[in-house]
Amino acid sequence: MGAWFSENGLLIGLALLDGLANAALIFMVAVGLNLVFGVLRIVNVAHGSLFAIGAYAAASLGLFLASLGLPPAFGFAALVVAAALVGGLLGPLIERLVLRRIYGQEEVLQLLVTFALFMILEDVQKLVWGVQPILQDAPMKLLGTVEVPFGEDTIPFTAYQLFLLPGVALATLVGLAWFLRRTLTGRVIVAVTTDKEAAMAMGIDAAKVTLLTFTFGAALAALGGALASPTTSLVPGIGAQTIVLSFAVVATAGLGQIEGAAISALMIGLGRSIAVYLAPEFEVVVPYLIMVAVLLVRPQGLFGVLETRRV
């Protein structure tokens, strides 16, 4: 172990840090997907597009603010404002115009509808932002790098990825758990998730809760994208990659599990970044392998509860 570790140890350390940042981003998207599924009973394939559009919007807004001569700190405001705009505009639009027509219908039909939305939004990105890579990394540069001690060495890593991303993800996890369990609105959402008819009988406006939840989920996806935008060049296709990844996270954890999604996001994020350093050809394959391995043993996911069979 000794010789191998001194040779590859730093790489492993870097992979662990990368994986953590990665997991934080995937978690943001997966948790929104999960929340929306809980209330709407629809797995929204277009959820990944909201991530991508959030990322593009944040980068554009950041570049625009910078071109006005504003200090780079405004880049952070751009991230949040872009996410809120994308979630607040596209969320209600999609829910009201399209999804509302297909509630309670066959699952395959719902799947096809969100798939169609996904195809449309994919090209919207290309038409608005083109196919050239876009990079706006001012927020990441602003926070600088940290020397992370690792054994006898240190690893330079950006503070943005080391503190901000995991911090926001953790805050989302804790905040969401608190919101759903301790506030009235949150409990209403849980009630609709558990038994929509009973909740409606108690006087809950399910249509309103649905709209609210979908908008909130869309904003989470857009925020995930906005936060990811400083770390990478934006190219077409990130939406597809994101939805498949976050579905892998959700399926591995079990549909509807929020804390579970955090753990499986960590597993998949770490697995992927370790693969990047050890066997880069298989980076893309690792998340699916983890998902398939888990589903083979536990079809309901790691933390999922078996649903009673339909009779």
Partner 1 sequence: MSGTVTAPARRVAPIGEALLALLGIAAVILAAWAVPWLKFILTVALAKGIAVLGILLLLRAGQVSFGHSMFLAIGAYTVAFLAPALPEALLLLPLGAAIAGLFGLVIGLFVVRYRDIFFGMLNLALSMVLYSLLEKLYSLTKGTDGIRVSGLRFAGITPDLATQEWVMFGLALGLAILFGLLVRAYLGSPMGRALAGIKTRETRLEFMGVSARRVLLAAYVLSAVMGGVAGTLVAMTSRHVTPQLAYWTSSGELVFIAVLGGAGSALGPFLGAAAFELVRVYAAAAVADAWQMILGAVLLLVILFAPGGLWGMLAGRLGRRP
Q: State how far the Cα of 16 lies from the Cα of 274, in Å rounded to an integer.
A: 7
- Rule CB under 8 A: is residue 107 a binding residue for partner 1? yes
Considering the complex, what minimum distance in angstroms separates the CB of residue 311 from partner 1? 5
User: Is residue 3 a contact residue for partner 1 (CB under 8 A)?
Assistant: no
Structure tokens at 156: 């330079």
Q: Does 307 interact with partner 1 (rule: CB under 8 A)?
A: no
Nearest residue (CB) to partner 1, 126 versus 181 = 126
Q: Are 222 and 81 in contact (CB under 8 A)?
A: no
User: Of 73, 93, 120, 159, which lies in the binding site for partner 1, with binding defined by CB under 8 A?
Assistant: 120
Residues 251-290 as x/- pattern, contact with partner 1 by CB under 8 A: x-----------------------------xx-xx--xx-
* 148, β-bridge pairs: 155
Q: Does residue 27 contact residue 250 with C-beta atoms inside 8 Å?
A: no
Q: Please identify which residue in 113, 173, 228, 253 interacts with partner 1, judged by CB under 8 A.
A: 113
Q: Please give the single-letter amino acid code of residue 44.
A: N
Q: Which two tokens stand for residue 284?
A: 């893309």
Of the candidate spans 63-71, 149-157, 212-220, 244-252, the one that interacts with partner 1 by CB under 8 A turns out to be 244-252
CA-to-CA distance for 306 and 290, rounded, in angstroms?
20
* Residue from 14, 28, 199, 291 binding partner 1 (CB under 8 A): 291
Per rule CB under 8 A, is residue 296 in the interface with partner 1? yes
Assess 244 for contact with partner 1 (CB under 8 A).
yes
User: How many other C-beta atoms are found inside a 10 Å radius of the C-beta of residue 181?
Assistant: 10
Query: Tokens 């994020």 correspond to what residue?
Result: 269
d(CA 79, CA 297): 40
The answer to the question of residue 119 lying near partner 1 (CB under 8 A) is yes
Query: What whole-number distance in Å separates Cα of residue 149 and Cα of residue 236?
Result: 36
Is residue 219 within 8 A of residue 84, CB to CB? The reply is yes
What residues pair up with 42 in beta bridges, in sequence order?
A: none
Ranges within 176-205 binding partner 1 (CB under 8 A): none
In the complex with partner 1, the residue whose CB is nearer, 106 or 197, is 106
| Residues linked to residue 156 through DSSP beta bridges, in sequence order | 147
Mark 128-147 with x for binding to partner 1 (rule: CB under 8 A) and - for no binding: --------------------
State the residues that interact with partner 1 by CB under 8 A: 43, 98, 101-102, 106-109, 111-113, 115-120, 122-124, 126-127, 240, 244, 247-248, 251, 281-282, 284-285, 288-289, 291-292, 295-296, 299, 309-311
